């Protein structure tokens, strides 16, 4: 909100001065006229005093209004920041809700391969899932299956969530995960993960082991080696 701008009363003072000079030039030696002029002068002086006081009060009022405008603008800035923070919080909450929904009801896709729970898959040009391997550019991993099924059966796909298994042998070749270790899409074996950083094909981080049984799945974009 813009502030108010003060004006000055120099024009009014100048006009009164011209009137005074004119009346003084008319008096001459006429006592009655001089008295009239004196009375008029007193009236003008009183008017000027009242006017100046009024202008001073108006200036004070303007200062107060401008001070309130400054406070209002400050409060408006705070409210704007709060709205921005709230919007960001809502966005994060939306992401969290989406993740929760995906955990509860993950996307369902028919698979063209026999798949075991925890194995990584990609989307084929048929729109079905297939076991992913980090050597082929078209096999962009979309997640890990949440159910062991045969080819032609629908299974759920997990990403941005956790998967806990008592035995990871079918996915990493050993029973237990190594906590704190990153797991990659295996370039040498389809449908497998590895804790060894790939040196061929594509580097695709699938997630990090939180415990010996739980993997935090956060699939990153593939990086060509």
Torsion sign over Cα 122, 184, 91, 164: positive
**pLDDT tens-digit profile of 32-75?**
666 766 777 777 777 777 777 777 777 787 787 788 888 888 88
Q: pLDDT tens, 79-113?
A: 888 888 888 777 666 656 655 665 566 788 999 99
The reply to whether the predicted model has a pTM over 0.85 is: no
Q: What is the predicted pLDDT for the residue at 114? A: 95
Q: What is the pLDDT of residues 199-222, one digit of tens each?
A: 999 999 999 999 999 999 999 988
pLDDT of residue 102: 56
Residue 196's pLDDT is what? 95
Higher pLDDT, 116 or 23: 116
C-alpha separations of 218 from 47, 99, 121, 184, 214 in Å:
81, 11, 14, 11, 13
* DSSP code string of 103-160: HHS--EEEBSS-B-TT-EEEE-TTS-EEE--TT-TT--EEEEESS-B-TTSEEEEE-S
SS (H, E, C) 155-197: EEEECCEEEECCCCHHHHCCCCCCCCCEEEECCCCCCCEECCC
């Amino acid at each position: 909100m813009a502030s108010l701008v003060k004006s000055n009363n120099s024009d009014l003072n100048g006009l009164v001065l011209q009137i005074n000079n004119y009346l003084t030039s008319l008096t001459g030696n006429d006592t009655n006229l001089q008295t009239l002029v004196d009375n008029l002068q007193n009236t003008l002086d009183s008017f000027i005093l009242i006017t100046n006081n009024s202008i001073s009060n108006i200036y004070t009022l303007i200062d107060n209004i401008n001070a309130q405008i400054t406070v209002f603008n400050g409060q408006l800035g705070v409210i704007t920041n709060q709205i921005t923070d709230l919007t960001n919080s809502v966005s994060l909450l939306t992401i969290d809700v989406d993740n929760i929904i995906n955990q509860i009801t993950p996307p369902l896709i028919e698979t063209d391969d026999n798949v075991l729970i925890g194995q990584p898959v990609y989307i084929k040009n048929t729109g079905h899932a297939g076991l992913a391997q980090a050597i082929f550019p078209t096999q962009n991993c979309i997640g890990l299956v949440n159910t062991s099924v045969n080819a032609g059966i629908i299974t759920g796909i997990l990403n941005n969530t956790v998967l806990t298994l008592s035995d990871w042998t079918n996915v990493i070749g050993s029973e237990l995960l190594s906590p704190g270790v990153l797991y990659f899409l295996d370039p040498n074996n389809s449908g497998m993960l590895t804790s060894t950083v790939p040196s061929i094909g594509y580097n695709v981080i699938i997630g990090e082991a939180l415990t010996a049984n739980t993997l935090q799945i956060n699939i990153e974009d593939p990086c060509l080696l």
